[in-house]
Amino acid sequence: MISCGKEEHVKELKIGARTDNLDQVLAFVDESLEAADCSMKAQIQIDVAVEEIFVNIAQYAYTPAEGEAVIRLDTETNPGAVTITFIDSGVPFNPLAVEEPDVTLSAKDRKVGGLGIFMVKRSMDEVSYEYADNKNILTIKKNI
């Protein structure tokens, strides 16, 4: 087999699903993005997506108990892409099924609920959800 220059790196982080672990999660992600020469714009979009998803798991998946989240990060080069998978064993929840906010309303009528996942859908190239083995599995992919 001749390699066409495509390389793949997979890393995994298992961490308590608590909002105060957010900085650690972002550091884990940013380290790989920087190594992959990700543009600042794509990095910010990915960071925002990771924050929205992780905080969502931290706030809702296990409440009031505590649990863990697994974050799997797969970077590819030639062409560059990053795929991040979030896995939790909390209550089944498909964030992609949440009704999208009306982003055309005035400040007076705007609600901010659902805005986070809306930003994820708009800024990532692929977003998918499945519930398998009693686990929520949310995957995002961004071409970088």
Partner 1 sequence: MLKIEQKANGSELIFALEGRLDTTTAPQLENELRKSLSGVESLIFEFEALEYISSAGLRVLLSSQKQMNKQGEMVIRNVRPEIMEIFDVTGFSDILTIE
Site residues (CB under 8 A) for partner 1?
Answer: 19-20, 22-23, 40-41, 44-45, 47-48, 51-52, 55, 103-108, 110, 112, 115-116, 118-119, 122-123
Here the tokens at position 91 are: 């209550």
**Of the two residues 4 and 40, which places its CB atom closer to partner 1 in the complex?**
40
**Of the two residues 76 and 117, which places its CB atom closer to partner 1 in the complex?**
117
CB of 103 to partner 1, least distance (A): 3
Taking the C-alpha atoms of residue 77 and residue 79, their distance in angstroms, rounded to an integer, is 5
CB of 38 to partner 1, least distance (A): 13
108 DSSP assignment:
T
**Of the two residues 1 and 112, which places its CB atom closer to partner 1 in the complex?**
112
CB burial string 39-59: b at 16+ within 10 A, e below: eeebbebbeebbbbbbbbbbe
Q: Which residues neighbour 111 within 8 Å (Cβ) at sequence distance 6 or greater? A: 101
CB of 142 to partner 1, least distance (A): 14
**Of the two residues 76 and 84, which places its CB atom closer to partner 1 in the complex?**
84
CB burial string 87-104: b at 16+ within 10 A, e below: bbebeebebeeeeebeee
CB of 5 to partner 1, least distance (A): 29
